[in-house]
Amino acid sequence: MARPVDKSAVPAVTVPRLTVYLRKLRELQARGVDRVSSRQLAGLIDLNAAQIRKDFSYFGEFGTRGVGYEVDRLVDEIKRCLGLERSWNVVIIGAGSLGTALARYRGFAEQGFKLVAMFDASQRKVGVSFGDGRTIRDVADLEPFCCEQRVDIAIVAVPAHAAQSIIDRLVGLEPAQRVRAILNFAPVKVFAPRDVIVRQVDFSSELMSLSFYLDRES
């Protein structure tokens, strides 16, 4: 039986690394690899073996020196720690180029994320299909939809000026219907109550960072 994982003991800096481990371990699974050592895994993802062993120790001591870790078990443990043993309902607000590209991403379903709806304010886009027979909904129907169906994660892909008002609507619902996790692609800092998790994805900042390093090298 798997040992319960105390998620409060897992440092925040470890979580992004867990997603990297899981992706690489799934590749090893697909190749039929049964076991992997921390040194081998470190070579595959360019990380320190000692750091990998420390991260895995939060799941229990189930590796064997000289033998390594069971790939299948590691995959199951990391999925459990990341909450991927269950399905999460996702909505996308904003059916522009970015929003529609995200809606077409097949990795959502593969990772346990179910895209249940897509919303937009433009009446030219409302009713347009975005795949699997589903159509874009009017953003005016956002609150009624969240009240009728559980929404775990909202992806906000609207213009900067509209982002905060959309998030205010998502978190302003009654506690039972409130969306508790938001991935914001709008290029603006947004605010939400402390019990709502907000992650910011800022493409422009990342591009400017790349520009800095390119310019430094040249």
Residue 63 has pLDDT above 60, yes or no: no
Amino acid at 37: S
What is the CATH number assigned to the segment(s) 88-205?
A: 3.40.50.720
- Full DSSP string of 52-119: HHHHHGGG-S--BTTTBEEHHHHHHHHHHHTTTTS-EEEEEE--SHHHHHHHT-THHHHTTEEEEEEE
| Residue ranges per structural domain of the chain | 7-81, 88-205
What is the CATH number assigned to the segment(s) 7-81?
A: 1.10.10.10
- Count the neighbouring beta carbons within 10 Å of the beta carbon of residue 110: 9
Residue 129, SS3? strand
Distance CA 207, CA 216 (A): 14
- Count the neighbouring beta carbons within 10 Å of the beta carbon of residue 103: 21
Residue 10: predicted pLDDT: 80
Residue 216 or residue 55, greater confidence: 55
* Domain 7-81 shares a fold with domain 88-205: no
Non-local (6+) Cβ contacts of 135 within 8 A are 126, 127, 128, 129
Amino acid at 77: E
Q: What is the pLDDT of residues 83-102, one digit of tens each?
A: 888 889 999 999 999 999 99
Residue 107 or residue 72, greater confidence: 72
Residue 3 has pLDDT above 70, yes or no: no
Q: What is the pLDDT of residues 136-193, one digit of tens each?
A: 999 999 999 999 999 999 999 999 999 999 999 999 988 888 999 999 999 899 999 9
Q: How confident is the model at residue 1 (pLDDT cuts 50, 70, 90)?
A: very low
pTM for the full model? 0.80
Residue 102, Cα to own-chain centre: how many angstroms? Answer: 12
DSSP state of 49: H
54-68, 71-85, 156-170, range with greatest mean pLDDT: 156-170
Q: How does the average pLDDT of the chain come out, rounded?
A: 88
Closest CA to 91 of 48, 55, 25, 136: 136
Residue 209: predicted pLDDT: 83
Residue 79: predicted pLDDT: 87
Residue 47, Cα to own-chain centre: how many angstroms? Answer: 21
